Amino acid sequence: MPVTEFAPGLFVRDFTPPRALGDYKLVAFDMDSTLINIECVDEIAEAAGRKAEVAAITEAAMRGEITDFKDSLRRRVALLAGVPVSAMEQVYTDRLHINPGVDTFVAACRNAGLKTLLVSGGFTFFSDRVKQRLGLDFARANVLEIEDGHLTGRLVDRPWGDIVDGAEKRRVVLEVCELMGIDPSQAIAVGDGANDLPMMQVAGLSVAFHAKPKVREQAQVSIASGGMERVLTVLR
């Protein structure tokens, strides 16, 4: 499909702007490297002395080179066994920052009447705080098992399963749309990795934010430079 450089570093594909932000009713965000600047699992792994090993798996999974996201996450989480909760607190305090333009875009969505959803293959230890910090409406992520103040290297089973992968992200977006009584075409999905593609493919508008090549190639709007608020130049 033809791609238009709508503005420097802002690309539009198969989409005729401008469209009003208020035409949408829901916006779904990935968390790691989308709402926030880090991949939390990689930063936790540093405390275990396994960052390079874990980061290599993360990068391959986000690029779509590893197709079994659940297996890749279980492998990474297993390498975190023994990491103290205090190390995760330090990651949150010292390394986790909200990405540029996120506050502005979230506020614009809220002011336009959209509900906001965080759906992440990351961990509730961080997503719950990011949800509160940004004032988001809904969130779903994975739960790290903790015993005696340390990670066990396992994830906690939830009623819906144990891992938020691409299929679960898609399912959650569709479920929230149904609960809201809206069509998925009224949803926006924002992400950066291959596991975001399933939810981006069912949304009415897909936005790639500093994304992997596979995601940039398929998204309707791709922000390659600057902050997330740049999507507002497409959505009047």
Domain count along the chain: 1
Q: What is the pLDDT of residue 1?
A: 60
Q: In this structure, what CATH number is given to the domain that contains residue 182? A: 3.40.50.1000
Catalytic status, residue 32? yes
| Choice among 23, 32, 68, 196 that is catalytic | 32
Assigned domain for 83 exists: no
How far is 42 from 96, CA to CA, in rounded Å?
Answer: 12
pTM, to two decimals: 0.94
Assigned domain for 161 exists: yes
Assigned domain for 91 exists: no
Catalytic status, residue 148? no
Assigned domain for 32 exists: yes
Task: Please report how the helices 102-111 and 124-134 are oriented relative to each other, as an axis angle in degrees rounded to 10.
Answer: 60
pLDDT digits (tens, 9 = 90+) for 98-146: 999 999 999 999 999 999 999 999 999 999 999 999 999 999 999 999 9
How far is 218 from 197, CA to CA, in rounded Å?
Answer: 8
Provide the domain limits for residue 134: 3-38+98-145+152-233
* Torsion angle in degrees (nearest 10) through CA of 205, 13, 196, 124: -60
Assigned domain for 64 exists: no
Assigned domain for 201 exists: yes
Assigned domain for 77 exists: no
| Choice among 23, 30, 157, 196 that is catalytic | 30
pLDDT digits (tens, 9 = 90+) for 142-194: 999 999 999 999 999 888 877 999 999 999 999 999 999 999 999 999 999 99
**Assigned token pair, 192:** 């950066």
Assigned domain for 207 exists: yes
